[in-house]
Each structure stands twice: as C-alpha cells, then as structure tokens.
Amino acid sequence: METQKTPLFNLHKKYGAKFVHFAGYKMPIQYKLGIIEEHNLTRSKSGIFDVSHMGQLFIKGNQELIIDLEKIFPINLTKLLINQSKYSFLMNDNGGINDDLIITKLNNGFMIILNALCKENDFQIIKSKLKNKYEMKLRDDLSLIAFQGPEAKHIFEKIILGSSKLKFMHGGEFIYNNQKVYISRSGYTGEDGFEISVSNKIVTSFVEKLIEHGSNLIGLGARDTLRLEAGLCLYGQDINEKTSPIEANLKWAISKSRIDSKYPGSERIKRELKEGVDKLRVGIKPESRVIARESTKIFDEKDNIIGKVTSGTFGPSVKSPIAMGYVSNGHTKSNTKVFLQIRGKKIPANICDMPFYKKNYMKEEANV
Amino acid sequence: MSDIKFSKDHEWVKISGDTAIVGITKHATEMLGDIVFAELPEKGSNIEKDSNVGVVESTKAASDIYTPISGEVIDTNRLIIDDPSKINSDPEGEGWFFKLKVKDPSEMNSLMNKEEYAKFSKESSS
C-alpha cells in the first residue's frame, strides 16, 4: 500500500518536521526542537499533535445499536451519557485485544477512535458483527488533533468559547470558523487537554491558530515518551491480539455490570478474574541510565527468565529511564528487584507503580 | 599540530603526538536526536580499530560506537556519562568520548578528511 499523508503534511514540513513511516503514514517524529524539548513543552505549556492517521469511525443508530454494540465491547453503553467517552477494546474470541479504542456516545449513534494500524481491520470486524444493519463510516474527510498541556485549556477557551468547561472524558460539538468541530476532553500524555475532530478543509488554519497563541507542534517521538511516563499502552507493542485486558492490567476498563455478560473473549476475562493470570503488565525502572528497549529480557534474582519489556525509553520528566513489560506471577509487586539483560550485561531494576509521572489535574480542574 | 579524521561510522578522531581523542560527529548527533545515555570503553583496555567499544542511546534508539583506530584507552569523558546532552550541544568539543594511546598512527590513513566526510555524510543521509 502506498504511504499516506495527513492533511497537515505541508504544515509539518514548514515547521521542520523529520518524518517516519508509521502505520502506513508518513508522520512527523519530531520538529526542530527535538523530542526532549517537545516533551517538556507539553508538560510545562502546551503541545499540538497531529493524530489524523487514527481512525474515526461513526456508526449511526439508536437503542438497538446500543444493544448490538454491547455484544462487541465489554462496557456499559446503556449507562453512557450522550457525549461521554470510555476507553475500551475490540477483543477476539480468544480474549486477546484486536485494538484499544475510545468510544463516545453521540445523539445519533457512536464515534469510535481506532488505532491507525488496526482501523481497516476493525472496520471489517465491527461491520460483520453488526451484520450490516447500520450506516457506518471511517471518516477520512476529518482530521484529528490532540491539544495537550496545562496551558491548553486557557488557549482553547480563547479560540472556542466554552470548551474549557468540558469535563474529563466528555465532549461536544462546537463551532469554529463556521464549521462544526467535535471536541472531547481527553488525551494520551498524562496532561489535561483536548482531542478535536475537525474537517480536513480547515485543519491547517485551525492548527496555525493554536500556534499563533503560543503553542507548538509536537511529534510522535515525544508522544511516545509522554504516554510511557503516563503508563499508557501503545497498541502493537504493549498489548496485542494475544494479550488479554486482565494481563495488561486494564481490568478497570471493563464495566463491572458487564462481567457476567457475553462478548468476544468474555470466557477468558471471567476465568482470569477468578483464577488470576500467569503474567501481568508492570512498570520497570532501571537503576542506572541504561534504557531497556522493547524485547529486553527480564530475570529474577536467581537468574530465571521471568518476562520481557514491551516499551522502554528515557523519561524526560522523571529524568530516568522507564519501561513497561510483562512479568510472571510472583514478581509483579512494586519494588521487586529484577534484572534486565542489555547488551550482554544484567542491569538491576525495580518493578514500580505506574504512572511514572503523575499530575493532579483532570476531574476537579476540568470544571473551571 | 593536530589532525582530524572521520570514519564511516560517524566518529571523529584527533591525533596529537601519540594521543588520540575520539567522539561522534555533529552529523551523527543530528541523526540520533537527543542523546540520553552513553557507555564508554574501560580505562586501561586495549581496543582494536573498527571494534564496538560503546553505545549511545537517544530517545529514539540505541547506536553502537566503534573506535576508528586501535590503542589503549587512557581516559574517558565522565562529563557525558553524567550529562549526555553535552554530546548534542558540543559533539566535537566538550562531548568527546575517550582518549587513546595510539598503537599504529598509519591507521589514520584509511580515514576520511573533513571534505571527504562532508561529502560522505551528505550522500549517506540522502
């Protein structure tokens, strides 16, 4: 398949982006400032992320659609309020995760934000599970922008009146330049912020407006360090079609009221909740400055292999290397000493709680 | 008088008498991005030309360091261990990696001069 570009491609170039190929798209990994500076700007001020490669799936329907979607997703969609969003998964029959996603209830149906790599496949799976009963569309006429950081709400309120009143994981339709935009208070950085679904036609001027107000474009490189510090999973790396949400320590995302109902993989979820899991996703902090990258093997103190790293980087805000990965039962407690095999050496590290970096924002502050 | 040469692995080496200083080039730091970790050869060790003697890690990836010439490691730069960002800010000065007692000065002949390296790095990045 030919490499695709997002509608912001020329703007990225204008701001000195270096590009990488990601999920079939040519995406900016960083701009002139570099990953660490971009990371720090997002934590201290604000940052703009082009995430238009992600899938924006809209499904039209009413009560019947809610019932049909609850057969697919392990969450309570009946109770979900209009314009409220939840994190969930598309699971396979073996209880593995085909994709992780954000689902939002709209007036006339649902919006589901999917990973770029999975969106086409997800579309086919959901379509066949819904038996073609509903009008559904992956909207490539819309871009998706994340606007994150402590200053985001102040800047955004100047541009779109009322946007700062949105609560965390709630959204709504707003007007910008006579065009409808859908804004939700959410993100993937551990910071307060917004995600904005906006027409391709006005996305460039919209992003330039944010830049005029003092914000900066941030690449996928910093997006990765930010999400890892926040303890958030990257699909394809930290979770995949084999790992279950319970192994991934994402139990919280499964609605309690849905545990006994049937959805793809529900048998495995029920069994794992009852009997426990063999391995669990944990945070890992190396004791030195060495970075444990994806696939680094993890050993216990007796030199038995107990797991492997799925994501690792240097955390610019925590100022040390950080990683996440899976370790077997008995080694998952915080402060457990482990060893990482890096370039032939065994580097001491400790299992730790996530997130690595935590800010007190969100629910209270989102009420301003 | 010192003589600066460059390797295909993007290291530089400056020789003065029988001592050589080795580091990575500005071009290398630009390709790597923000460097957050550096591992250097041990003081006192004897290292052979083109062998893997260390590592730098950026926020993006790890990259091996090769020595462009052979010799005994007589000093390493503590500064870049404690603050790897010095490699980005001054790669051919403060951000040096290690010093060698040169074994065979004729090894310098196989390396590129400034102009040759500028051409090489331009071609290899395009």
| Each residue's pLDDT tens digit, A214-258 | 999 999 999 999 999 999 999 999 999 999 999 999 999 999 999
In tens, the pLDDT along A141-194 reads 999 999 999 999 999 999 999 999 999 999 999 999 999 999 999 999 999 999
- Name the residue facing A34 among B34, B37, B39 (closest C-beta): B34
Give helix A35-44 / helix A220-229 axis angle, nearest 10°: 60
Nearest CB to B36; choose among A29, A37, A314: A314
pLDDT band at A2 (very low <50, low <70, confident <90, very high): confident
When pLDDT is averaged across residues A108-118 and rounded to a whole number, the result is 97
Domains in chain A, CATH or no CATH each: 1-232 (3.30.1360.120), 251-352 (2.40.30.110)
Q: Does A121 score more than 50 pLDDT?
A: yes
Residue A130 in this model has a pLDDT that exceeds 70? yes
Alpha-carbon span A184 to A249, nearest angstrom: 25
Residue A367 has pLDDT above 60, yes or no: no
Report the gap between the CA of B37 and the closest CA in chain A (Å): 6
CB A294 within 8 A of CB A312: yes
Contact of A89 with A99, CB cutoff 8 Å: yes
Contact B36 A225 (CB under 8 A): no
Contact A289 B60 (CB under 8 A): no
Pairwise CB contact (< 8 Å): A314 & B33: no
Residue A197 and residue B69: Cα distance in Å, rounded? Answer: 55
B34/A35 CB distance under 8 A: yes
Q: Taking residues A297-318, report their average pLDDT.
A: 97
The pLDDT of B18-46, averaged and rounded, is 95
User: What backbone phi and psi angles, to 5 degrees, belong to A220?
Assistant: -65, -25
pLDDT per residue as tens digits for the range B85-94: 999 999 999 9
Closest to B32 (Cα-Cα) out of A314, A62, A177:
A314
What pLDDT is recorded for position A32?
94
Chain A residues within 8 A of B33 when measuring between CB atoms? 30, 34-35, 221
Top residue of B39, B59, B65, B81 to mutate, by most chain A CBs within 10 Å, is B59
Range of the domain at B85: 3-125
Please judge whether B57 and A314 are an interchain contact, meaning their C-beta atoms are less than 8 angstroms apart.
Answer: yes
Amino acid of residue A144: L
Query: How many structural domains comprise chain B?
Result: 1
pLDDT at A360: 58
* pLDDT value at B2 more than 80: no
Write out the residues of chain B at the interface with chain A, using a CB-CB cutoff of 8 A: 33-34, 36-37, 39, 55, 57-62, 81, 84-85, 88
Asked if residue B79 lies in contact with residue B88, where contact means CB atoms within 8 angstroms, the answer is no
B35-39 sheet: strands from edge to edge: B35-39, B52-58, B62-66
pLDDT in tens, A187-200: 999 999 999 999 99
CATH number at residue B53: 2.40.50.100
pLDDT score for B1: 46
Mean pLDDT (chain A, rounded): 95
CA distances from A155 to A26, A151, A185, A269, A359 (A): 28, 6, 14, 42, 19
Of A35, A36, A289, the CB nearest to B37: A289
Identity of residue A68:
D
Across the range A295-320, mean pLDDT stands at 97
Judged on CB neighbours under 10 Å (0-12, 13-18, 19+), B72 is: middle
pLDDT value of position A1: 67
Pick A313's closest partner by Cβ from B39, B55, B59.
B59
Note the pLDDT of residue A365: 45
State the ipTM, two decimals.
Answer: 0.81
For position B59, what pLDDT does the model report?
Answer: 87
Of all residues in chain B, the percent with pLDDT exceeding 70 is 98
**What is the arithmetic mean of pLDDT over B27-36?**
94
- pLDDT confidence of residue A90: 98
Which residues in chain A touch residue B58, judged by CB atoms under 8 angstroms apart?
35
In this structure, the dihedral spanned by the alpha carbons of residues A158, A38, A148 and A234, taken in order and rounded to 10 degrees, is 160
Residue A368 above 50 pLDDT? no
pLDDT tens figures, A332-363: 999 999 999 998 899 999 999 999 998 755 54
For the stretch A7-28, pLDDT in tens is 999 999 999 999 999 999 999 9
Query: Of all residues in chain B, what percent carry a pLDDT higher than 90?
Result: 90
Which residue type, as a one-letter code, is found at position B13?
V
Cα angle A206-A6-A228, degrees, rounded to a multiple of 5: 90
**According to the 3-state scheme, what is the secondary structure of chain A?**
CCCECCCCHHHHHHCCCEEEEECCEEEEEECCCCHHHHHHHHHHCCEEEECCCCEEEEEECCHHHHHHHHCCCCCCCCCCCCCEEEEEEEECCCCCEEEEEEEEEECCEEEEEECCCCHHHHHHHHHHHCCCCCCEEECCCEEEEEEECCCHHHHHHHHCCCHHHCCCCEEEEEEECCEEEEEECCCCCCCCEEEEEEEHHHHHHHHHHHHHCCCEECCHHHHHHHHHHCCCCCECCCECCCCCCCCCCCHHHCCHHHCCCCCCCHHHHHHHHHHCCCEEEEEEEECCCCCCCCCCEEECCCCCEEEEEEEEEEECCCCEEEEEEEEECCCCCCCCEEEEEECCEEEEEEEECCCCCCCCCHHHHCCC
Q: A222 to chain B: nearest residue by CA?
A: B59
Residue B49 in this model has a pLDDT that exceeds 80: yes
